[in-house]
Structure 1
Amino acid sequence: MATETSTFRIQELATAKSLSAGYLENRRSVYWENGIPEKDYSKSTGFALTQRQEQLVYSKRLHPEYQGDRPSPIWRVSRRAMSATPSQRISDLAQSKRLHPDYRQCRRVMTMIPTSTLRVRPSERIQFLARHKTYPPLPIKHNSDWDWGEWETDVNSATKTASASAYVINLATPKQSHSQYKPPKDVQWSVSKEALSHVASERMLKLARPKNRNADLEDYDPRAWNVSMAALNAKATPRIEELATPIPRKVRTKK
């Protein structure tokens, strides 16, 4: 019974979906053959707002104690306000903020140096740091007219007559190219007659043939597939039947 049910389910899924009665082939919904259809403005849509939407339509109300901007920067102050005594909290807030004890004002462009600073004697460390950086002299030979080709070499005579060891000579020898190394070919080269008259093998013809992609472009009919008898008579396991069962929350009835 499970095999017949699974076979019927596979056949049902393999069946192509039927087209609707008003389906038109090769016609998109965003294009019209006779231009843009005219819109009927005689009918109007009636809107119904909820009580919450009606409340959101109105602008926000001002605070009951809100007072607008005064018409002029000069206004009349009452006698009671002029003779009122402020509290200790208002007096503390009215005082200006004190500066930091280490705060220093901006100096002038021309700073006046006191006489005591001018007469102070710097330490040895400050004198060492105050010295300018010295550079080694340029390697220039005297009486050479600035021509480096006339300079005498500074290499020791023993160094010039020294002989290198076998290991140094081995390292100094340039690396030889591979025995099968071939230099790059020219853009144009001559082809031999044997290569022109050579007959390619079947394997070479098969590799030279471009890949056929017609199978990817064709629309296969799933009903034309051949299913083996072993697949038709196969019995699904309980786990496969559980996975094949559609999820109840995703099942929707068609209108």
Structure 2
Amino acid sequence: MSSASLGNRLDVLAQPKQAPLFVPHRRSVYWPEKQPPKIGSTTAFAVNPWQDNLAKPKNVHPGWTLSHRWEFITSHYCHYPIWPVSNAAKKAEATPRLQQLAESKSFHPNHNFDRSVFTDISKSAQNARCSGRLEALAQQKPHLVWQGDKNVTLHAPVGEFNDTITKVSATATKAGASERLAVLSEHKNPPPKYKPERSVLWPVTHNAKNAVATTRLQQLSRPKSARLTQYDFDNWYKVNPSALSAHCTNRLATLAEPIPRKVRQKKA
């Protein structure tokens, strides 16, 4: 093949492939392999015979008969199932067992029905009259109110609700409690070792103000200067060189190892 023919072939292969059904600025809903059929200006959808058979509705069974007929009742705006009743069903009689089962269940012998909200009052209660004793108890209790120089008996309280509406008799004002009642009215004494609440502010004793620490207390309050230098006091975070090079014993290393049954190898 000559160089000119090879150059022309390369130019043809370098061209982009053209889509046969490509329409610019419009999405395609068809397969690109073939052109869809059209009838006039609309697309014709063609199906095979098997798809057409599947699209048909299911036929009713040949042995099925429409036994129930539905009628629309306009006056009630609802549907009622109506079908002809056979003569045998019209003349049928229930058996004794069916009649026994059809009877309603009787109430318990001790059952009492709900009482009516409106109670019937008997004639005796309507014509009843209270006795003299009941009328006396129904009277309002009289109250003695001091007005001026004498007591006036009133049947209604006078003044505020908290005001005294009765007068204490002279005998009650001069009454004295018995010895036993006086003993019972005494308040209970606190225990002998009971101490009342201490005041927030209390005076400091003279001994506490002039107290001096003992020699032993002063020794305990001082740091261990024999082992610490002045530099150690300035740098509290300095670690002793002996502690830096310390090694644990074999027994301590053995105790620090994990339990073998709990050791699990890492997955690579």
TM-score normalized with structure 2 length: 0.28
Higher relative contact order (CA closer than 8 Å, sequence separation 6+): 1
Give the structure with the higher percent strand: 2
In our comparison, the structure showing a higher alpha carbon Rg is 2
TM-score normalized with structure 1 length: 0.29
